[in-house]
Amino acid sequence: MTPRKKILIVGGGSSGWMAAAYLDAVLNRDGRKLADISLIESPDVPRIGVGEATIPSINHILAAIGIDEIEFLRRVDGTYKQAIKYVNWLHGRGESYYHAFGRYRETPIDTTSLDWLMSDRSMPFSETISAQPAICEALLAPKMFGKWDMGTRLPYAYHMNALKFADYLCEISTSRGVQHLLDHVVDIEMAESGDIAAVQTKSGERIEADLFIDCTGFAALLIEKKLGVEWVDCSQWLLCNRAITIQVPYEQSYPGYVRPNTLATAVSAGWIWEIPLQNRRAWGYVHSSEFVSEDDAEKELRNFVGPIGDAFPTRAVPFKVGYRAKSWVRNCVAIGLSAGFIEPLESTGLYLSDLAAVMMTEHFPYGDDMAPLAYRFNRILANRFHEILDFINMHYCLTRRTDTPFWREVQRPERVNERLKAKLDFWRSKPPTPADFEDQFFPGQADTPLPSGGLSGDHRTPVDTSGVFSLSSHEAILFGMDFLRAECDQWFGTERPASQVAKGIRSKLKVAAQKLPPHDAWLKRVAGMPDYPTTAQR
């Protein structure tokens, strides 16, 4: 029989409990038990909970753990998320566009993007490839009350209370045998081999493990404080480093609807999210402290929210954008903030923890030699991190806003990373197509190795395999930001036909108007959302 590996997760929160629940679900199932999993977290460290948006990949981890969707929505105050709506990102004059999750295909050869580029752009690009922008504008749920009979299902993710999600995963994990320890880690004991041997707790307990997972957030108690793995700063390309948040319960102010999408509105020194849950709306101003003071950021956020937020406190959440030179070193794996962070513009915070947990099961050390597994794990995580970094960087560098110092700064060439520059330059010679993500290395791209941190491993320049954001996602942002406007005038002339919506999308929208209920109505009937009286129309 294969000896069980002892896994100790240090730190809880969403990242720690996602790792515990997923590892247990995959490794210990169908009567087998490959790992003894324990999680230790401090009972006194405050948790950050500001609401959380996700991407559709979250559905995989929920299914793997065996979580019922409706029970999940009830337990985490969850709502559906079909898209992100971006407002004021191009010129700052009220313009908007959607990044929706779905794409309609009418024929095997999809010419929708080229058709739009050859049109007069009188209709937003996202509305020509998906029904979901219009469904979001109509505030409709992605689900019917009864059995689905509308053809291809609408893809979606969720908005949720991240603290309640962690608590729910804790409940599931411990009921299945994961050991939960509430104690302070005060010391980390090293073996002669250079591996971590054990942690010492404040209560005097010594806990050994074969594999340690560092979920201690930016503190990075194991991966950085003990193993000395350096943090690679990425703030040169993403300037925002703080968020000011505010939450308004529906008991005090319910607008009469629940948006089925996240809202991201560009303001003077960053952007403001709006995330609706079943019991509240949450806003957060993600900004750069170099361009706006904390007091002024709070004033700007409160002005955006309006009088409904006057009675509620704000909370400051500092963060840093970057990644660990290696996430897996010897017998320690960093997951969550200890491994890296990118501002939440595309809701990738939980995704990176989700990915790390999935990769841990695919690279689980059944034997004693972890080095080859760490080698591949680190490469995959590095590629995926830099894909997200490029994608978020792209939102900023394509702006044409010149109204504030922040927006002028993010357009400067030195604020665009080398990989993204090469992509954009190539796409100015031809629009993006699927082949661009096959073996991505473009003309003019520097073959710059990743920082090694003095550690062995794969340090090749990262590549974007479209593992997180598809071609459609890139097109949504590029064309939403009016990319290739001048080039299309040169290629196709300035007198071009009106933009068209595919017949299939028009049919879908006609049926949706008849069969899809308002998002809040679905949540009230199926997920148990309370029926709040409408008190504000904003």
| Residues with catalytic roles | 81
Separation of alpha carbons 54 and 165, rounded Å: 12
Give Cα separations from 352 to 214, 452, 472 (angstroms): 14, 21, 20
Asked if residue 77 lies in contact with residue 52, where contact means CB atoms within 8 angstroms, the answer is no
DSSP E strands in 242-295: the ranges are: 242-249, 262-267, 270-276, 280-287
Separation of alpha carbons 66 and 57, rounded Å: 15
Q: Go through the chain and tell me how many residues it has.
A: 538
Separation of alpha carbons 306 and 252, rounded Å: 13
| 154 secondary structure, DSSP code | P
| 298 secondary structure, DSSP code | H
Separation of alpha carbons 76 and 163, rounded Å: 8
Cα atoms in the 13 Å half-sphere on the side-chain side of 52: 21
Sign of CA dihedral 512, 517, 519, 525: negative
Separation of alpha carbons 477 and 73, rounded Å: 29
Let me know if 257 is exposed, middle or buried by CB neighbors in 10 A (0-12, 13-18, 19+): middle
- Of 422, 237, 210, which is closest to residue 323 (Cα–Cα)? 237
SS (H, E, C) 59-123: HHHHHHHCCCHHHHHHHCCCEEECEEEEECCCCCCCCEEEEECCCCCCCCCCCHHHHHHCCCCCC
Chain-centroid distance, C-alpha 484: 27
Sign of CA dihedral 30, 32, 35, 40: positive
C-alpha angle with apex 501: 500 to 504, nearest 5 degrees? Answer: 145
Residue 396 tokens, joined: 């900023």
Q: Which helix (H) or strand (E) holds 427?
A: helix 418-427
- Taking the C-alpha atoms of 477, 480, 481 and 484 in order, what is their torsion angle to the nearest 10 degrees? 100
